[in-house]
Amino acid sequence: MDNYVTIIYFAVLLGIFYFLIIRPQQQRQKKHQQTINSLEPNQKITTIGGIMGTVVRVKDETITLKIAENVKIEVLKSSVASINEDTN
């Protein structure tokens, strides 16, 4: 009888662990991947490092950002934190 209680207790702990930690992380990763896949030129983005700029070109693994007049940088797509909506 004690073995069944231990197994049930362990299964409940694994279920709680899955729904509180693993599943939300997978959902965040899926949303981030969708954000990266939806990048297009002329979108305003913010990188993980806090750099804000406008997408100029999208390549397989990188994007080119215009961060100031005549200043363009190339960053990894994975470093994109968010796509900023126009407030104009």
pTM for the full predicted model: 0.71
H-type alpha helices, 18-62: 23-37
Average pLDDT, the chain: 92
* Predicted local confidence at residue 68, as pLDDT: 95
Read off the pLDDT of each residue in 14-22 and give the average, rounded to a whole number.
91
Sheet holding 71-76, edge to edge: 71-76, 62-68, 52-58, 44-47, 80-84
